Amino acid sequence: MTNFAETRSLFYLPKGMIYLDGNSLGPLPRAATARVGNVMQDQWGEMLITGWNKAAWFSQPQTIGDRIGQLVGAEPGSIIVGDTLSIKVYQALGAALAMNPDRKVILSDNGNFPTDLYMAEGLIESLDRGLELRTPAPEAIEAAIDSSVAVLMLTEVDYRTGRRHDMQALTAKAHAHGVITVWDLAHSAGAVPVDLAGCGADFACGCTYKYLNGGPGAPAFVYVAPRHADTARPVLSGWLGHSAPFDFDLNYSAHAGVSRMRVGTPPVLQMASLQAALDIWDTVDIKDVHAQSMLLSERLIAAVAKACPQLQLASPSEPKQRGSQVSFHFEHGYQAMQALISRGVIGDFRAPDIMRFGLTPLYISEADVEAAAAHIATVINERLWDKPEFARRGAVT
Ligand SMILES: *Cc1c(COP(=O)(O)O)cnc(C)c1O
């Protein structure tokens, strides 16, 4: 069994704060500070350009990819790290579309995170071959899979409600109709067990600054099933995805395997903090993390239902159908969340009326959840949110 008191001690958490927003940005692993400092001084400072070989900066996108692969059930050598998730969505979708050149439909859902849909729109415009993006409701996805669809592009766990798609069943149905799949694991990696190889997924991608705790701006990852990896089109044909980048050929030829999905120079400092975070992940079993997150979320749901029925559960009530977050509809959700933040309970708000709480067992305890629920009850029942200062909005909500 994973020892969560132990994992909690490995994170820096500000005093007096209950941090229920690890689904947006994970907290600082204590070891990351020294790790990044050492990479700056001992590697960047001392080694300068030789760090690419001596400190293995160059191969880190693969080695880190393999470490992430263990958390999402990927075959060794099938994940590469780099860029941002938006970029990796673009590449995965572009490569998937190239495998179904005679079909015109990209199927996603209207609960998907907007950047994934925006990237699809941009790609449709660039390719200019009459592609169409369909976004039915998440519940209507299964029925919408047919042999007109080129690519099924879904985010497994809905960023607003935490609703979880059945990756295994949807991938199987997609394949039965000749549809290529792209799974976005932004809210899955480090939150729920994922079995990419077992599902037979074609492409997947995700980010490392949410549940994985790699730090703000930590690079994304992309998965290409080994059966596609030597033929997939990289779409963004950058020099580090070339078969021989240091030959400086004038023409592009894709690297063997998933390395072709590299684009340019990887973020070395950010990979250092990510590695410190992955050291913690090496010590835990994702099944324990998921079991504990279901326990924490059931606690929060029960406490809120009892103390403030004005908050309506926006997440599925069946724990197995959720990711690692719980969301509630509340008409004054923005103000209520600001009031909670002023009391040290950090969740976030998603338009139009969703109050969202991430439950991350690596550093959130049952006592934290109970204390947070008590604050929620006070803020709602005493209408503490109803103050002008809580209605003001910053650039980032
Ligand atoms: C968080 C998130 C992103 C963020 O993309 P970036 O390029 O890293 O800013 C993209 N897609 C989904 C589904 C997300 O949840």
Tell me which of 4, 203, 209, 334 is the catalytic residue.
209
| Among protein residues, the one whose CA lies closest to atom 1 of ligand 1 | 186
186: CA distance to ligand 1 center in Å? 6
Q: What is the pLDDT of residues 143-163, one digit of tens each?
A: 999 999 999 999 999 999 999
Find the angle CA(77)-CA(80)-CA(84) to the nearest 5 degrees.
165
pLDDT (0 to 100) of residue 262: 98
Q: Is the CB of 86 under 6 A from ligand 1?
A: yes
Q: What is the pLDDT of residues 367-387, one digit of tens each?
A: 999 999 999 999 999 999 999
Q: Is the CB of 160 under 6 A from ligand 1?
A: no
Residue 206, helix vs strand vs coil: strand
Q: What would the mean pLDDT of 58-66 be, rounded to a whole number?
A: 98
Most ligand 1 atoms within 8 A of CB, residue of 81, 87, 113, 164 to mutate: 113
pLDDT surpasses 80 at 249: yes
Query: What is the pLDDT confidence band of residue 260, given thresholds at 50, 70 and 90?
Result: very high
Query: What is the pLDDT confidence band of residue 204, given thresholds at 50, 70 and 90?
Result: very high
7: CA distance to ligand 1 center in Å? 26
Mean of all residue pLDDT scores within the chain: 97
Q: What is the pLDDT of residues 293-345, one digit of tens each?
A: 999 999 999 999 999 999 999 999 999 999 999 999 999 999 999 999 999 99
Give strand pairing partners of 151. Answer: 106, 180
Instruction: With CA atoms as reference, report the closest residue to 261 among 113, 96, 115.
Output: 96
DSSP 8-class letter at 181: E
Residue 210 among the catalytic residues: yes
Q: How many helices and strands (H and E) does the chain possess?
A: 14, 15
Q: What would the mean pLDDT of 32-45 be, rounded to a whole number?
A: 98
pLDDT surpasses 90 at 392: no
Most ligand 1 atoms within 8 A of CB, residue of 86, 203, 213 to mutate: 86
pLDDT surpasses 80 at 168: yes
Instruction: With CA atoms as reference, report the closest residue to 94 among 151, 133, 167, 177.
Output: 151
Q: Is the CB of 85 under 6 A from ligand 1?
A: yes
Q: Is the CB of 156 under 6 A from ligand 1?
A: no
pLDDT surpasses 80 at 285: yes
pLDDT surpasses 80 at 208: yes
**Integer Cα distance of 97 and 124 in angstroms:** 10
Residue written as token pair 């503490």: 384
Residue 103 among the catalytic residues: no
Tell me which of 4, 11, 19, 113 is the catalytic residue.
113
**Higher pLDDT pick, 160 / 395:** 160
Helix 366-381 with 286-307: angle, nearest 10 deg: 30
| Among protein residues, the one whose CA lies closest to atom 8 of ligand 1 | 85
Q: Is the CB of 79 under 6 A from ligand 1?
A: no
Residue 67 among the catalytic residues: no
Query: What is the pLDDT confidence band of residue 234, given thresholds at 50, 70 and 90?
Result: very high
Please state whether beta strands 354-358 and 18-19 pair in parallel, antiparallel, or not at all (unpaired): unpaired
Q: Is the CB of 92 under 6 A from ligand 1?
A: no
Alpha-carbon torsion (65, 67, 72, 77), positive or negative: positive
For the chain, give percent helix, strand, coil, nearest 5.
45, 15, 40
Q: What would the mean pLDDT of 188-203 be, rounded to a whole number?
A: 98
Alpha-carbon torsion (360, 171, 121, 136), positive or negative: negative
Tell me which of 173, 210, 260, 350 is the catalytic residue.
210
73: CA distance to ligand 1 center in Å? 20
Under a CB-based contact definition with an 8 Å cutoff, are residues 205 and 221 in contact?
yes
72: CA distance to ligand 1 center in Å? 17
41: CA distance to ligand 1 center in Å? 31
Element holding 326 (H helix, E strand): strand 325-329
Which numbered atom of ligand 1 lies nearest the CA of 116? 11
Tell me which of 109, 184, 348, 368 is the catalytic residue.
184
Q: Is the CB of 311 under 6 A from ligand 1?
A: no
The full length of the chain comes to 397
pLDDT (0 to 100) of residue 395: 79
204: CA distance to ligand 1 center in Å? 13
Under a CB-based contact definition with an 8 Å cutoff, are residues 158 and 187 in contact?
yes
344: CA distance to ligand 1 center in Å? 26
Tokens of 226: 């080994």
Cα 260 → chain centroid: 22
pLDDT surpasses 80 at 397: no
